[in-house]
Amino acid sequence: MISSKSKARPGHEKNHHRREHRRVSWCCSFTVPPQSPETLVYSKTPPKPESLSKLNSTSFPNSPQSSRLGLVSRIDPRRILSPGRVSPIDSINSLAESIQETCQVENVVGSVGEIEDLEVKKKEKRESLSEVKEESFDGVGIFDVRLCLRGKNGGSLVLELSSEVLSANSSVFADLIANWRKGSSQICRIEVPDVENLGIFRETIELMFEDDITKRLLNIGVYRTIYILEVAAGIMFSKGILSCLKYLEAVPWSEIEEEKLRNLFTRYKFDDATTIDILARLYLDDTAGSQQNLASQLVWSITTSGEASARNELKSFVKGLLCESSVYEKNQPDLSKEDIYAVCQSCLSSLISLFEEASDGIPHEKLSKKDAAKPLIERISRQVDNINWLLEILLDHQIAEELVNMWADQGDLIKMHENASPMVRYELSRVSAALFIAIGTRNLHCRSDARLRLLQAWFGPMLLDFSWLQRCRKGLDMKTLEEAMGQALLTLPLKHQYVLFMEWFRCFSKQGAECPNLSKAFQIWWRRSFLRGSETQAVESR
């Protein structure tokens, strides 16, 4: 209310009345605090998107549900993204409208000067908005497409783009924009639902505006480039696909990146001319005949190698490659049983020749000058190591039964073992020890007659060489060997156990600690043969 005192001073009254009225209208004429860009109020029910076009099965990658472009719809006109931004902002025009819609005025503003002030503010806002658009569109063209990406796990991303750039780079977007141009809308609004990775999709779109895509991919890296290639393939971004393929072909891949590329090439088919080099790195050409015997070639190379350090390193490496439980296993070449046993037979033949040389003292004619210059014991030890290594590979593939028969039938080696020096002949018992351990630890399954022939042939030589094995173990666990020998004997029929256990008993009584300790297995055999036999007879008599 204006006081009577102020009527005496008209000029002062007018100014005072305007200041007071402004203060009152700002503080009191609103039922709620005035809105600001930080506290905008939006409608709880945004307008429902309207489809601009209907396309048949337009695929967008990084969207697991999307082998078709779900909804091509309108976006809330009050939600836009300033060009080049990552996260959406609100329109300046909608800001003034939102304030007018949500604010309730209690007192009517009757002053003509205040109405003029509001009009000035609106004009300034429109001018500022037009200035922003001019700066953002400078040098790029008109941004007449509003692309809304809806994340699969929530979140969204709005991009304002040029229809000319999108149409020139993507045939999918070109069809959508062509349908939009038939209508009357000024802005083309496209919505992509269920996008798995918003950042990857945005980077793929940004490549359309790059002059040198390959240079940009160098900064992105291989891992993200594979995902970008997937998106580019889905939206048919030909220039991006070609650039990604050229970059990926020129750089090395990690194991994870290689697997992702394999999966990608099974889901998308690219031009053969651009992918031939990548496919050559991913898949082996089976037409080459040399690849069929790749595993046997590796084995042959190792068993004939004369360099001890390199041979030992390659043995563990190739065994890991050929092992069925290997971490390197993918589409490994099949290990031929015939090829591996051919290598075993070659090693056995070399071993026989070396023991003949040890008996005659004359070097074998087939030996090379390099091998002939090495000590005999070293050459024998190398062949024994080869046989034991081959046994490990055969055990991994569960095809080691025939090696038991091969070793049991080595009558010539057994005869030469009797006459050879103890420091040479004990090498043969290393092969026997490996077979005994495999049988006693249940890793090698063979017929009863094969086990019997093996033990009858090599159990006696093992008793003679046990003391040398204790001195020169070469990685052999003697406690494990003793237990395995006892368990292997217990797999034979009782009458054959009797013969072999009595042979051990006589040897142990003479040599003591230089003979393997099979007392535990002997006790088991004793109970099975006598105590349990009498108990069985007592049960049958009852």
pLDDT given at position 360: 75
pLDDT given at position 271: 82
DSSP code, position 19 = H
Task: Look at residue 298 and tell me whether its pLDDT is greater than 50.
Answer: yes
Cβ within 8 Å of residue 146, ≥6 positions away: 75, 80, 81, 158, 159, 160, 161, 187, 188, 189, 190
pLDDT given at position 86: 40
Cβ neighbours, 10 Å, residue 44: 5
| Sign of the C-alpha dihedral computed for residues 395, 400, 404 and 410 taken in this order | negative
Strands (E), 213-316: none
pLDDT given at position 365: 55
DSSP code, position 308 = H
Q: Report pLDDT digits (tens) over 403-414.
A: 999 999 999 999
Chain mean pLDDT for the chain: 75
For residues 78 and 541, what is the distance between their CA atoms, to the nearest angstrom? 102
Q: Report pLDDT digits (tens) over 234-278.
A: 999 999 999 999 999 999 999 999 999 999 999 998 887 888 899
pLDDT given at position 255: 92
pLDDT given at position 542: 55
Q: Report helix, strand or coil for 434.
A: helix
pTM comes to 0.62
